[in-house]
Structure 1
């Protein structure tokens, strides 16, 4: 339900965010509000309260712990910009602290959520308040439950509950990308590959069929598999297929009649979800069963749209492919070209020594500000 139909969060119990201090200070403020997946209410309340106090130009809605804020300026084009509010569990890495990187000498902010992805959220919130009259209409989205199973995603839930709020010509997800553009994303599939056998006493093993031994054929095939490099719209994606879990066995003196191998297949966005499923089923055609337990399609780079091309120019660096899966896939499924762009090194996401360079926060803010403030009309020839 929209919070415009309900009471705003209580100021007495809501953490205070001050967007006027700029995106760097706002990063510290956001990170110091714990928001492990499932516990995003306090930070969502803080975001909503801040917007209601500092951004009267935005129309604000709320779905659970997802906050959506829109401009309604009648612009010809609309851009959606999203970021998730949750983090993985804290491990003695809050509150954040300011440090100097001993290798590069650059100023950094250290602590949980700095990379994934509260620095990106801080950039977005500061811009949402400052850009009263952007060149395009904007839909800002801050959502819950990104770091857990995809069926819990606050973004997915809000898209189902309020599809009318998600129309856009282009979308940006603030995932950490070192302040450069990463186009689209790989798809991801998990399959449970089952091998069957016949139980027998291990003293008379010839009376049975060892399902774990049968699995060796599958594991050898996986070990020999050479993942493809696939170029999609000018960006190179790397695929991968690996066993990530194995389960089998009955007792120390029993020949096992079952072995299960869980396989994760990362596939380039040139493949559809159905094509990925067919590839996996064919690859394991000699298994007794192949059950698809999780499937999320990829997203093409989304860089051929004029809005995207002008964004690339504003960032000033060549885009690369996003090799992991991100929520750009959800926008792509709606027919909205989408890219990843945010401060922070994705290799440090979820690490106990998560840290983000201050300069990347500032440059990401500057690039987005310049692009959203500039005319998106093609030049007159």
Structure 2
């Protein structure tokens, strides 16, 4: 594998790292390439934890910023190698990972080696296993192994945000709603009780549920509650005695885990409910001085982040954090994943301008 050339443009670096497949559980080749590319620069201390690479300056600046991005992708589906495409006269780089989120990582890598005298100290983090179960997340693992590396006054996650600033993020909760019945032969259905039929009120309550919009520190977050999976049934001639509906609740960052659970239990009063996963969101954090300076420097109008991202990990540590990266989040994980070349350049200019301001 040829070494990464971080003197190339951010667009070409995006192409290079996308063409090194790094589906979750297979990040090592890309992590090796990143480690080699950022090592040997006098202004950077490089640390590795598994397939997470950290590079940080230690210039004695009064403030420190943490800038992070994940290097893994969802599975490839005939969308590598990358290629250049034009849509309605606009240039795009097409392929798995271009949006989520190697374009953001490419910008970070280029700036990490080029900015030897930034106006703040910077801790760059490129981590593994973001696209899978949270207990495997490289950022979470790093926090357990080296919590000292998370010291900072502000954090930026390069998640796709169309090159705009998205503050905080919604929380997410998954619950299993269960109904029970009595098995019987379907030819004598009146002898049994159909658990799938008993699930009808659960679906009715979901259909009637109206997503709420909740303002948090000036940003309006839209909540949502939806069935994402349903299972039940024994055989083609058996009345089912069990049915299970998985519900995903996306909740505003003003709610903690207990408050989110209460909402779900209130909606499904009278049913057997099992909360199987919950991750709280992150408040916008835009009242922090560094956050305000950053927003002003990049000329952005902050928006809310509806999905959950790892900014929540920083928020939980008391570090205000925002999402800022190239790419349309609607195209994350899409087979037609593609990023506008102009957005990659714009994000690089925005970060470079802010990090080198006097």
Q: Above 0.5 in TM-score? A: yes
Contact 1:115/1:343, CA 8 A, preserved across alignment: yes
CA shift digits 1:30-49 (9 cap, x unpaired): 11111111100010000000
Give the 3-state SS of the residue equivalent to 1:60 in structure 2. strand
Query: TM-score, structure 1 length as denominator?
Result: 0.92
Aligned to 1:70: 56
8 A contact 1:70–1:138 mirrored in 2: yes
The 5 A counterparts of 1:97-108 are 97-101=83-87, 103=88, 105-108=89-92
Q: How far 1:149 moved relative to its partner?
A: 1.3
Conservation of the 8 A alpha-carbon contact between 1:183 and 1:321: yes
> 1:347 is matched with which residue?
330
Larger deviation, residues 26-35 vs 201-210: 201-210
Residue 212 of structure 1 and its aligned partner are, at CA, apart by: 1.0
Gaps of 5+ in 1: 1-13, 376-381
Verify: 1:184 aligned to 2:171, yes or no.
no
Classify the secondary structure of the residue corresponding to 1:230.
strand
The answer to whether the aligner puts 1:33 opposite 2:20 as a matched pair is: yes
CA distance in 2 between counterparts of 1:19 and 1:294 reads: 39
Aligned ranges for residues 99-138 of structure 1 at < 5 Å?
A: 99-101=85-87, 103=88, 105-138=89-122
**In 1, distance between residues paired with 2:200 and 2:76?**
39
Question: Does residue 214 of the first structure (1) align with residue 201 of the second (2)?
Answer: no
State the Cα distance separating 1:75 from its structure 2 match: 1.1
In the alignment, structure 1 residue 197 sits paired with structure 2 residue 184? no
Distance 2:91 2:195 in 1: 55
Shift of 1:202: 2.6
1:233 counterpart (197, 217, 222): 217
Give the alignment partner of residue 312 of structure 1, picking from 262, 272, 295.
Answer: 295
Which secondary structure does the structure 2 equivalent of 1:36 belong to?
coil
Whether 1:362 aligns to 2:357 is: no
Counterparts of 1:109 and 1:249, CA distance in 2: 45
Q: Any idea what SS the aligned residue of 1:73 has?
A: coil
* Residue 157 (1) aligns with residue 120 (2): no
Quote the Cα distance in structure 2 between the aligned partners of 1:181 and 1:193.
Answer: 36
After TM superposition, give the deviation of residue 280 of structure 1 in Å. Answer: 1.1
Q: Which residue of 2 aligns with 1:378?
A: none
Structure 1 match to 2:124: 140
Alpha-carbon deviation of 1:188?
A: 0.5
User: 5+ unaligned residues in a row in structure 2: which ranges?
Assistant: none
Where in structure 2 are the equivalents of 1:204-283 lying within 5 Å? 204-283=188-267
Moved more, 57-66 or 207-216: 207-216
* Deviation of 1:340 (Å): 0.3
Q: CA RMSD in A?
A: 1.1
1:60 Cα deviation from its structure 2 partner: 0.8
TM superposition shift of 1:258 = 1.1
Which of these residues, 17, 20, 26, is aligned with residue 4 of structure 2?
17
User: Are 2:279 and 1:296 aligned?
Assistant: yes
Is residue 371 of structure 1 aligned with residue 354 of structure 2? Answer: yes
Q: TM-score, normalised by structure 2?
A: 0.97
Q: 1:252: how far off?
A: 2.4
Q: Determine the C-alpha separation between the residues in 2 that align with 1:153 and 1:236.
A: 28
